[in-house]
Structure 1
Amino acid sequence: MISKSGQPSSEPPPCSTAIDLSLSHAPAMAIRMDFADYEAEGIQHQHRQGQLILALHGAVTCRAENGVWIVPPDCGFWIPGGVPHSNRVTSNARLTYLFVEPGAAMLPAECCTLSISPMLREMILRVAELSENDARDAHVDRLMRVMLDELALMRRGGLELPISDHPKIASIAAALLADPSDRRTLGQWAEHVAVSERSLKRLMIQETGLSFGRWRRQLHLVIALRELAGGATVQQVAGDLGYESPTAFIVMFKKALGTTPSRYFADRALSAEQA
């Protein structure tokens, strides 16, 4: 709940050793961060509290448990307390971290993305503006209780890329994350990891819950959202992902999210400008 200004700084973002809610006597605290001067890739760390990462501008990619999540503008990523994770942010990212004391709200026991309503976003931003002395105010206490109740009601999103720790699946995932334009077929990947195509097909579904084709499309979506939020053009992203044309990429994007890339980010631009 203790506010920290979102001004650029050469100091590193808060880590698990820098956050101590016991000093605020509050069930939650929020911190606004501007990442223009920070490293793009953070080290793996964990927090005693649960953490919601709310993207106001730009995007952040989070690695936690057996998955990779993208947090585009006006979405949130929930990380339960004690879960090791690392974040990669775009250089234009402006984020708000909301730390929640264990047991303060009925929140998921596993990592997930959450849709954040405009009202909840404004409540979180209001909490981030408060001072340490405000933590003991009865009005602020009521505000935080309503905020946490609203957070518990938010719908889960689907911007997750499941990644297995099985050596063969992990090898393929690492290669495609490094070069998402790689268009090798399932059969070619099976030969690469020395298994039959049928075995790899079965293993992929068993380990990720997705077919290879659906998994690769999800990977492309996660990377596309991050890069587009970071300022890349549709043409650049389509080329980087190995699509034959921007149109082919837009078709994939619209099929996955129900809208075009330009409309997707335009719909979020107004609220991001107000943050």
Structure 2
Amino acid sequence: MAISIVTHTQFNWNCDFPTPARPVTMSGRNLQADDTLLPHSHPWGQVTYALEGVMRVTANNSSWIVPPLRAIWIAPDVEHAITVLENARLRPLCVHADRSPFAGTECQVLEVSDLLRELIVALEQHDQHEQSAREALLGELILDELARSATRPIRVPLPEDKRLKALCAALIAEPGAEHTLKDWAAQVGASERTLARLFERELGMGFGQWRQQVRLAHAAPMIANGTPLLVVAQELGYTSQSAFSAMFKKTFGCSPSAFFADQ
């Protein structure tokens, strides 16, 4: 399938910029798998969220895979890009910089509560170019709920070195690949020792830990969509469902089924 480039202007076709009097607005568009929103930034914050579908968000030298039970907070002026992995109903919230629910420029992975989802759906029903008292109340409730949202440590840091970039891009595209670091070294034109050193220096972790983060990121939307754990484990390169579940529990402190039980 050919990749379709969606410009920032096209994406915000029905969005008014947030203001102090109207701190939360919504932009929205239905996009197809492989549509790409090129790197851009804006002076307001953004809660990147899709009512349906899965997307990959890249910002601050990191990447996140985002299913409907998750959202990404992107601070004002932070450059970011979006790639749609499954047909998506994108409904990002634009938040005035003065009302940012999180301090700093770090992106945050948010759990989307039932209440937050319903508030977003309710906000979508309003004419996005017309203010109303009800819209103002919804905006304030959304800001309050965002600040209360639980965050999750699902983050895939990205490198600068071109050899490491090639390796990481290949693994993100195919997280179940079983190549060793030595195998990758032969493909990207660097020694195994050099790649190991680059992982620690640029990404702050070893190859195995980074690959585990990638697999976790891909696992979230698969589990959320009801894919059996055995299938998830097989597609992500684990020898068994129990091996995958053990890794998941070590990272999050609970089993995959418990983690998603209340979603």
TM-score, normalization by structure 1: 0.75
**What residue is the counterpart of 2:83 in the other structure?**
87
* 1:135 alignment partner AA: Q
Deviation at 1:166, TM superposition (A): 1.2
Which gives a bigger RCO, structure 1 or 2 (Cα 8 Å, sep 6+)?
1
Greater mean deviation of Cα atoms: 181-190 or 206-215: 181-190
Structure 1 residues not aligned, in runs of 5+: 1-11, 269-275
Q: Count residues in correspondence.
A: 254
- Aligned partners of 1:96, 1:196: CA distance in 2, in Å? 44
Cα distance, 1:96–1:17 mapped onto 2, change above 3 Å: closer
Tell me how far apart the structure 2 counterparts of residues 98 and 64 of structure 1 sit (CA, whole Å).
Answer: 17
Are 1:251 and 2:246 matched, yes or no? yes
| Correspondence 1:130 to 2:126 | yes
Task: Select 1:115's aligned residue among 111, 122, 138.
Answer: 111
1:273 alignment counterpart: none
Alignment of 1:63-212 (within 5 A): 63-82=58-77, 83-91=79-87, 93-107=88-102, 108-132=104-128, 135-137=131-133, 140-212=135-207
Judge conservation of contact 2:15–2:26 (CA < 8 Å) in 1.
no
> Secondary structure of the residue that 2:82 maps to in structure 1?
strand
Q: 1:182·1:242 contact (CA, 8 Å) conserved in 2? A: yes
Residue identity in the other structure for 1:28: V
Give yes or no for the alignment of 1:46 onto 2:30. Answer: no
In 2: Cα distance, 1:201 partner to 1:52 partner: 35
> Which residue does the alignment assign to 1:4?
none
Does the CA-based 8 Å contact 1:64-1:85 persist in structure 2?
yes
Alpha carbons of structure 1 residues 230 and 61: separation in structure 2 relative to 1, 3 Å: farther
The root-mean-square deviation of aligned C-alpha atoms, in Å, is: 3.4
CA contact (8 A) 1:250 1:260 kept: yes
Shift of 1:15: 0.8
**Residue identity in the other structure for 1:19:** C
User: Structure 1 residue aligned with 2:26, among 30, 33, 36?
Assistant: 30
Partner amino acid for 1:248? A
User: Gapped runs of 5+ residues in structure 2?
Assistant: 1-6
Which has the larger displacement, 155-164 or 12-21? 12-21
Q: Residues 19 and 199 of structure 1: is their aligned pair in 2 closer, same or farther, counting only changes over 3 Å?
A: same
Q: Structure 2 length normalisation: TM-score?
A: 0.78
Aligned residue for 2:16?
Answer: 20
Letter in 2 for 1:222: A
Cα contact 1:29–1:128 (8 A) shared by 2: no
- Match of residue 8 from structure 1: none
- 8 A Cα contact 1:75 1:116, kept in partner: yes
Alignment match of 2:215 (pick from 220, 233, 236): 220
Q: Deviations over 1:119-145 (max 9, x none)?
A: 4444333333333586232x5434423
The Cα shift of 1:71 comes to 2.0
**What is the match of residue 235 of structure 2?**
240
Q: Distance in 1 between matches of 2:147 and 2:19?
A: 24
* Percent of residue pairs identical: 32
